[in-house]
Amino acid sequence: MLTLNCKIIIHEVNEKGLLTNNEISIDFVNQVEIESSWKEFTDIATITLPRNIVPAIKEGVNSKTEVSNVSKKTFRQHLQLWAKYHPHIEIYLGYNGRENLAFKGIVRDVKGGVPVTLTCEDDMYHFKTKMITYSSKEASLKSIVDSFGVTENAKKELIHVDFEEEKLGAFITEEPMTPVQVLEKLKDDFGIYSFIRYDKDGKSHLVIGKEYEINHGSNVSGIKTKFGGNFIFHHTIIEDDLEYKFKEDIKVKVTYVAKGIDENDEVKATYPDKDANKDQFTGIDTTGLSNDLDFFLNDPLLDENQPTERVLTNQSYEDLSEEAEELTFYIFEHDLKKKMKDGIMLGELKEKLRKMAKRRLEIMKYNGFRGGFTSFGDVLSENDDPKNTIGGFVKHGDYIQLREQFKRFDLGVIKRNQNYFVDAVTYSFGESGFRQQIQLGREKS
């Protein structure tokens, strides 16, 4: 028998909007829904509450007077304060007494009808409340992050920033922007995503550019990829829209772009490329350069003692129709202008970009499931070995294992068990139970 448990904690503010030491605790809701994805800047939580509830009040240190004042407020007065001052909120969900941190942020909007609805944003909200100006022809992620300054959440906790240093070249904000607008420009111009994740102690981290395997980097403060649990068809998977695809059926091509100090300088290469004779360079006369796409690659991720890989790119490109998805990634080359003027250096850069595109494509093209599924909201069966736990509470960026895949798609050629990263999770908690809608990312090899 599974017992549902929910705990919502709101850190109370006074009539002046100042944070107090008191916590308001709510353990009964009509409904909680949380949408969480690394592809979106902000996680959103929607909480539906009965019209008249009596929240519990936890007394903070040296706060007896505050508790007395808080206890005199009606629930409606609490709602008015929350709507005006956007206090800190935390949501914990689970089964049988387990308290999984599902959300952490602020109360953004309050609808005081019947029932009451609270709409909440995660701690990315605090990167929307100040303005900055940044301009550099030799930008780096570190210098951009430094321009944000110190950022705290509504509970006065430091929001850590985790990233892996990367040189970006020219990056200019033409007018003052919020840090979130700067992060959006990073996504649009360089394909670098930003989102909030929590470490094992529940602290918020702004993570930039590391959707998966956040286990290293120049400024990491505790975020680790973790195992989210095992999910089994016709057992912990309630329903799904999964589709099994073979890698040869994946219609995708990858482009890598090298950017220079000058904004208009760039060199790009696509793998595979069906139009070898098309000039792929900007701002340079490529007359006389070889367009032969039959070349050798040395993959830096392979043992350097292994033989060189032979790549024949003058192959059939039937899968590169207009339907093929093109993914673009960026790197910074400090001396790009010099390389653009030297045919040999330019050819070497072109080969480097194609090699990177090929490697990225190999990671993306795999035999496995795409799509998502609905499961129970938490662990169903624990084991001394976490790798054998059935079910689990999952966050985006975790990886999970689909077990006994042949039960869903049986051609006798698929892996029995396979690991996948998680791109997004929607949590639904209420009178009808606790469910997770899990969206799969790429295979974790």
Confidence band, pLDDT 50/70/90 cuts, at residue 381? confident
* Integer Cα distance of 113 and 105 in angstroms: 23
Q: Does residue 420 sit within a domain?
A: yes
Q: Per mean pLDDT, which range of 15-29, 77-91, 161-175, 275-289 is the poorest?
A: 275-289
**305 and 159 in one domain?**
no
Taking residues 404-427, what's their average pLDDT?
A: 83
Q: Does residue 214 sit within a domain?
A: no
Q: How many domains would you assign to the chain? A: 4
pLDDT per residue as tens digits for the range 191-203: 889 999 998 889 9
Taking residues 67-82, what's their average pLDDT?
A: 75
**392 and 319 in one domain?**
no
Q: Does residue 319 sit within a domain?
A: yes
Q: Does residue 221 sit within a domain?
A: no
**142 and 184 in one domain?**
yes
pLDDT of residue 422: 95
pLDDT of residue 345: 87
| Structural contact between residues 368 and 244, judged by C-beta atoms closer than 8 angstroms | yes
pLDDT per residue as tens digits for the range 274-283: 654 343 434 3
* Integer Cα distance of 103 and 8 in angstroms: 10
**381 and 240 in one domain?**
yes
Q: Of the candidates 70, 99, 124, which is a domain's last residue?
A: 124
Q: Does residue 202 sit within a domain?
A: yes
**72 and 9 in one domain?**
yes
**379 and 237 in one domain?**
yes
**176 and 325 in one domain?**
no
Work out the mean pLDDT of the chain and round it to a whole number: 81
**402 and 354 in one domain?**
no
Q: Does residue 64 sit within a domain?
A: yes
Taking residues 324-328, what's their average pLDDT?
A: 83
pLDDT of residue 439: 96
pLDDT of residue 316: 32
**17 and 115 in one domain?**
yes
Cis peptide bond prior to 50, omega within 30° of 0: no
167-172 and 135-140 beta bridge pairing: antiparallel
Q: What is the DSSP string of 266-299?
A: EEEEEES-S-TTS--BSSS--TT-----EEEE--
**358 and 413 in one domain?**
no
- Of residues 210 and 134, more confidently modeled: 134
Termini Cα distance of the chain = 36
pLDDT per residue as tens digits for the range 44-71: 999 999 877 777 766 654 444 444 455 5
Confidence band, pLDDT 50/70/90 cuts, at residue 272? confident
Residue 373 CB contacts under 8 Å (≥ 6 apart), including other chains: 231, 237, 238, 239, 240, 241, 242, 437, 438, 440
**182 and 36 in one domain?**
no
CB neighbourhood size of 282 (10 A):
13
Range of the domain at 300: 251-364
- Give which of 197, 394, 37, 426 is closest to 402, Cα–Cα: 394
CA dihedral 414, 416, 419, 424 (to 10 degrees): 80
> Is 304 a residue whose pLDDT tops 70?
no
156: alpha, beta or left? (left if phi > 0; alpha if psi -120 to 50): left
**10 and 116 in one domain?**
yes
